[in-house]
């Protein structure tokens, strides 16, 4: 703050707050915070060194294809074709500009995705607690931390409740480090010495704390490391890498063929070589190279991926990188939490069990001592509140308990005030219990609620209307039976117990023993209506859904049945049963198990691993701190946007903005859609190129004049072909995507059937183009032949855009279901018309204007391949239907 470096860890909390002009109880004022944001800039790490526009622009010329084009331009210049040279250079310039624009657009769209998944922080501003995006945290802010949070700035701890953090992103040390309020360490050599400070990038694994922010953004320890490494090189996705490899191989093949064509053309001129002859042979080779290189391919793939992720984000699935979209389309097993993801997490009380009788919740009778104590434990050992105006606040399980009291007119807040809490042991998913200590007429009494499997075995007595009696095996059996009956109806059952403690000291985990069991309260958490449909959709798509929950096995299996996850012959397994299985046994039973209950985070990792051993691509959901390793281990880790901890969001590759299972299935289908669209766009671009190659090869072998000039092919590849390719890329995800099996992630995108399609489609278009070429050659010579061939190739490829929209015929897909494809076609035709008819422009493209009937023939010939392809698709679909 004051210019020179402050050793924050040597100051006590009050001094630190003073230095930063902040009030530890009220935090900064909104006005000061805004001014500091202005002064210090957003709290974010610089993304390595950003490239300048000029750098990106110049990079566009580093490409092999551009070098070939420059050679083409030089050759054109040497032959005196100034117009051609101008066109090629303008095309190169245009291409470089487009490439630059696209680079920054992709960067912007990634940045917006990043912003959506950026962590938030709880800060005190003007005396109240608000949640702000981590980028808006400023020095002097008072930040509150709790387990599961990500530390977003460096800060001096003000108040500490057993805080433990994982600082591995800074120190590499994965063991959690305990923090203190007052430990003023002298040495400053390692972070570990500054135990009264927390650092940006750490994860809170345990406890709570409040801190005053001392450094943000690049001024944090993490920022300094990042600045040193100047990292974040954007990695290419596997698909981009495989396409890059393909392009490289293609370039070599093209070079070899070009050399062959050049030699062949020279051979045709034997025995006399002229300068013009050699140059024309060169032009042939150049045309072939230009025809073959898919100039727009890589940018189109990126555009389609970026548009796909934007669409997914609108549908509540926020992808953290483009790579995940590809993997998402290949997911074959979805492991999902139950509560809140598959169910609504809206609990309503149902039956209760106390003093040997099972009754409806609304029949609860306060005259009965056991029933009264059951409600007392339920209200005291929970924190939730319900209110008509402010709505329900707190854990839905606890809200259900409060609702039970509400029904008979008990106000939970007033009731709790009568029996103040003197200590507590908070709920945690591993222990599955929560206890609170109260002063009941001077007697320290611990009320405990939680999972029956844990609580029942810790109970030595059972409360009856005649007072506590010994908990015999028969009584235990009876309670378990009631629990089983309720659980089989899909109800969540919570059990309650109490015990008296010798004095009012803070309770410890050892105190959660020797209870007197009171009774049970069951509650219903209905499945989300859309989840049933989503499970069915997933099944149709060949994707297995597995339920993984902390809830009771029987309850979980009952809900899984209602959702269609658990089918006849399936098995449900508890975490303990899973622990007892060897890997080999698990592998053998895996396919049968559709529900895992009472699981630990370690169990989740094992389940992911077992499915992966079977070659499956697994998605796993998680919300807690401990889920992070399982999310990382899964192919697609899915975090909950609403209830998830920052740690889980950090570990995930996808965040569900609505915590909804149906969103996962939708995202997988979208992932498939993006992949399929990219494949179709590649099919379109390469089959069009194939047509060009075949024409050039054919004419050079047959010693005919050139069918196209390099500018023609550039015009097609970069302009008229790009538009339908993008339109194919945004093809709406059809229902057909659900009928496919999950993709084998090992299969290359350019598989045999795709390559065969490229060859056949290419040959059909080439045949039509050559038809037009010969008509032109006979009617008006080489100039007309070239124009007619060029116009036919352009138009045929524009028509071909409709063929590549999907597997099915255009009638099945619907001509108007992709408006972009119609727009792309119209724009392409307009561009072609401009080149043919606009004076000046047609000179640049060496156009010899065909007559009206000749143009009619061009249109017919260009349409012919599409008619053939569509007829074939229609017949094939009809035959398929009848088999």
Binding site for ligand ATP (CB under 6 A): 337-339, 395, 397-398, 427, 429, 432-434, 449-451, 492, 494, 549-552
- Other C-beta atoms closer than 10 Å to the C-beta of 54 total 9
CA distance 335 to 447: 35
Strand, coil or helix: 518: strand
Specify the DSSP class assigned to residue 293.
S
CA distances in angstroms from 291 to 165, 257, 692, 696, 876, listed in the order given = 59, 12, 5, 8, 31
CA distance 489 to 482: 11
- Smallest gap, in angstroms, from Cβ of residue 403 to ligand ATP? 14
Q: Which residue is nearest to ligand ATP (CB)?
A: 550
CA distance 196 to 183: 6
The candidate with the shortest Cα–Cα distance to 805, out of 634, 644, 658, 679, is 679
- Smallest gap, in angstroms, from Cβ of residue 456 to ligand ATP? 11
Task: Specify whether the CB–CB gap between 678 and 325 falls below 8 A.
Answer: no
Strand, coil or helix: 840: coil
Comparison of 298 and 429: residue with beta carbon closer to ligand ATP: 429
Comparison of 201 and 641: residue with beta carbon closer to ligand ATP: 641
Comparison of 395 and 602: residue with beta carbon closer to ligand ATP: 395
Strand, coil or helix: 71: helix
- Smallest gap, in angstroms, from Cβ of residue 533 to ligand ATP? 20
The candidate with the shortest Cα–Cα distance to 197, out of 172, 171, 221, is 221
Task: Specify whether the CB–CB gap between 305 and 325 falls below 8 A.
Answer: yes
- Smallest gap, in angstroms, from Cβ of residue 485 to ligand ATP? 16
CA 490 to mean position of chain CA atoms: 31
| Torsion angles phi and psi, residue 143, rounded to 5 | -110, 135
List the Cα angle 373/378/381 in 5-degree steps: 110
Helix H or strand E encompassing 76? helix 64-78
Comparison of 361 and 801: residue with beta carbon closer to ligand ATP: 361
Comparison of 214 and 626: residue with beta carbon closer to ligand ATP: 626
- Smallest gap, in angstroms, from Cβ of residue 734 to ligand ATP? 33
* In 551-709, alpha helices (H): 553-563, 575-580, 583-589, 601-613, 628-633, 646-651, 661-701
Interior/surface letters 299-313, b for 16+ CB within 10 angstroms, e for the rest: bbbbbbbbbbbebbb
CA distance 36 to 30: 10
Helical axes 752-780 vs 782-803, angle rounded to 10°: 150
337 is catalytic: yes
Strand, coil or helix: 307: helix
- Smallest gap, in angstroms, from Cβ of residue 530 to ligand ATP? 17
Strands 618-622 and 636-640: parallel
Strands 177-178 and 154-166: antiparallel
Task: Specify whether the CB–CB gap between 520 and 452 falls below 8 A.
Answer: yes
CA distance 876 to 25: 74
- Smallest gap, in angstroms, from Cβ of residue 342 to ligand ATP? 8
Comparison of 434 and 531: residue with beta carbon closer to ligand ATP: 434
Comparison of 11 and 377: residue with beta carbon closer to ligand ATP: 377
Comparison of 156 and 432: residue with beta carbon closer to ligand ATP: 432
Task: Specify whether the CB–CB gap between 292 and 254 falls below 8 A.
Answer: yes
Residue 693 tokens, joined: 């190659």
Comparison of 451 and 836: residue with beta carbon closer to ligand ATP: 451
Comparison of 6 and 348: residue with beta carbon closer to ligand ATP: 348
CA distance 59 to 107: 16
CA distance 362 to 407: 7
User: How many Cα atoms occupy the beta-carbon half-sphere of 393 within 13 Å?
Assistant: 8
Q: Which residue has the tokens 């694994």?
A: 205
The per-type count for the chain, helices as H runs and strands as E runs, is 32, 24
Question: DSSP string spanning 538-576?
Answer: HHHTT-EEEEE-SS-HHHHHHHHHHHTSS-TT-EEEEHH
Comparison of 523 and 695: residue with beta carbon closer to ligand ATP: 523
Strand, coil or helix: 417: helix
Which one is catalytic: 63, 154, 337, 721? 337
Q: What are the residues whose beta carbons fall under 8 Å from the beta carbon of 597, sequence distance 6 or more?
A: 549, 550, 551, 552, 553, 555, 556, 557, 572, 573, 574, 575
Comparison of 450 and 490: residue with beta carbon closer to ligand ATP: 450
Comparison of 338 and 743: residue with beta carbon closer to ligand ATP: 338
**Residues labelled as active-site residues:** 337
């Amino acid at each position: 703050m004051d210019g020179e470096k402050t050793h924050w860890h040597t100051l006590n909390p009050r001094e630190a707050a003073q230095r930063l002009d902040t009030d530890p109880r009220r935090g900064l004022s909104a006005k000061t915070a805004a001014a500091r944001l202005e002064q210090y800039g957003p709290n974010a790490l610089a993304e390595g060194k950003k490239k300048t526009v000029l750098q990106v622009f110049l990079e566009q010329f580093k490409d092999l294809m551009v070098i070939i084009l420059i050679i083409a331009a030089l050759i054109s210049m040497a032959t005196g074709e100034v117009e051609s040279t101008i066109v090629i250079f303008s095309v190169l310039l245009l291409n470089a500009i487009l490439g630059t624009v696209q680079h920054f657009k992709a960067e912007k769209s990634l940045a917006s995705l990043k912003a959506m998944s950026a962590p938030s922080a709880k800060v005190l501003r003007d005396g109240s607690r608000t949640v702000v995006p981590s980028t808006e945290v400023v020095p002097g802010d008072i930040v509150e931390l709790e387990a599961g949070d990500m530390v977003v700035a460096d800060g001096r701890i003000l108040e500490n409740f057993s805080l433990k953090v994982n600082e591995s992103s800074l120190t590499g040390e994965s063991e959690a480090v305990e923090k203190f309020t007052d430990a003023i360490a002298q040495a400053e050599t390692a972070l570990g010495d500054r135990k009264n400070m927390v650092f940006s990038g750490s994860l809170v694994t345990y406890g709570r704390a409040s801190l005053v922010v001392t450094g943000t953004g690049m001024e944090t320890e993490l920022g300094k490391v990042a600045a040193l490494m100047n990292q974040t090189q954007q990695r290419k996705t596997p698909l981009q890498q495989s396409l890059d490899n393909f392009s490289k191989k293609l370039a070599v093949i093209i070079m070899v063929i070009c050399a062959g064509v050049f030699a062949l053309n020279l051979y045709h001129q034997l025995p006399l070589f002229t300068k013009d002859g050699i140059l024309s042979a060169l032009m042939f080779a150049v045309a072939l190279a230009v025809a073959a290189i898919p100039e727009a391919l890589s940018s189109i793939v990126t555009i389609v991926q970026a548009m796909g992720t934007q669409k997914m984000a609108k549908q509540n699935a926020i992808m953290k990188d483009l790579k995940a979209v590809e993997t998402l389309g290949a997911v074959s097993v979805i492991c999902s939490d139950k509560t809140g993801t598959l169910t609504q997490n809206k609990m309503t009380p149902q039956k209760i069990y106390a003093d040997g009788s099972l009754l409806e919740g609304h029949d609860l009778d306060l005259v009965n001592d056991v029933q009264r104590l059951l409600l007392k434990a339920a209200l005291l050992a929970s924190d939730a509140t319900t209110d008509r105006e402010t709505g329900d606040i707190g854990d839905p399980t606890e809200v259900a308990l409060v609702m039970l009291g509400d029904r008979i007119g008990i106000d939970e807040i007033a009731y709790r005030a009568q029996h103040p809490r003197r200590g507590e042991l908070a709920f945690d998913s591993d222990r599955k219990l929560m206890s609170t200590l109260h002063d009941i007429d001077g007697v320290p009494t611990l009320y405990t609620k939680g999972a029956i499997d844990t609580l029942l075995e810790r109970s030595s007595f059972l409360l009856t209307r005649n007072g506590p009696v010994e908990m015999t095996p028969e009584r235990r059996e009876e309670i378990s039976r009631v629990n089983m009956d309720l659980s089989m109806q899909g109800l969540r059952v919570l059990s309650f117990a109490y015990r008296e403690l010798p004095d009012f000291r803070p309770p410890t985990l050892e105190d959660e023993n020797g209870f007197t069991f009171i009774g049970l309260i069951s509650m219903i958490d209905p499945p989300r209506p859309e989840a049933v449909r989503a499970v069915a959709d997933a099944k149709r798509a060949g994707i297995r859904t597995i339920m993984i929950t902390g809830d009771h096995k029987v309850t979980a299996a009952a809900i899984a049945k209602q959702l269609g996850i658990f089918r006849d012959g399936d098995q449900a397994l508890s975490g303990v049963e899973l622990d007892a299985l060897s890997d080999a046994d698990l592998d053998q039973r895996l396919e049968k198990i559709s529900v895992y209950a009472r699981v630990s985070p370690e169990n989740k990792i094992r389940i992911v691993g077992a499915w992966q051993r079977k070659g499956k691509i697994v998605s796993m959901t998680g919300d807690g701190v401990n889920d992070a390793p399982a999310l990382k281990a899964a192919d697609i880790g899915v975090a909950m946007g609403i209830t998830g901890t920052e740690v889980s969001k950090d570990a995930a590759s996808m965040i569900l903005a609505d915590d909804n299972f149906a969103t996962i299935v939708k995202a997988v289908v979208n992932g498939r859609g993006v992949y399929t669209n990219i494949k179709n766009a590649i099919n379109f671009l390469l089959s069009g190129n194939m047509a060009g190659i075949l024409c050039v090869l054919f004419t050079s072998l047959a010693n005919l004049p050139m069918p196209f000039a390099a500018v023609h092919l550039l015009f097609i590849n970069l302009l008229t072909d790009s538009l339908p390719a993008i339109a194919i890329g945004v093809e709406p995800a059809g229902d057909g995507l659900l009928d496919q099996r999950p993709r084998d992630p090992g299969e290359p995108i350019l598989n045999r059937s795709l390559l065969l399609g490229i060859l056949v489609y290419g040959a059909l278009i080439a045949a039509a183009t050559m038809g037009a070429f010969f008509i032109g050659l006979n009617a008006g010579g080489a100039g007309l032949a070239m124009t007619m061939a060029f116009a036919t190739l352009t138009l045929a490829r524009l028509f071909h855009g409709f063929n590549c929209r999907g597997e099915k015929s255009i009638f099945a897909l619907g001509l108007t279901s992709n408006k972009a494809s119609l727009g792309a076609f119209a724009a392409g035709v307009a561009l072609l018309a401009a080149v043919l008819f606009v004076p000046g422009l047609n000179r640049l493209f060496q156009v010899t204007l065909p007559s009206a009937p000749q143009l009619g023939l061009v249109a017919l010939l260009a349409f012919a391949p599409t008619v053939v392809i569509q007829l074939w698709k229609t017949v094939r679909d009809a035959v398929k239907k009848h088999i």
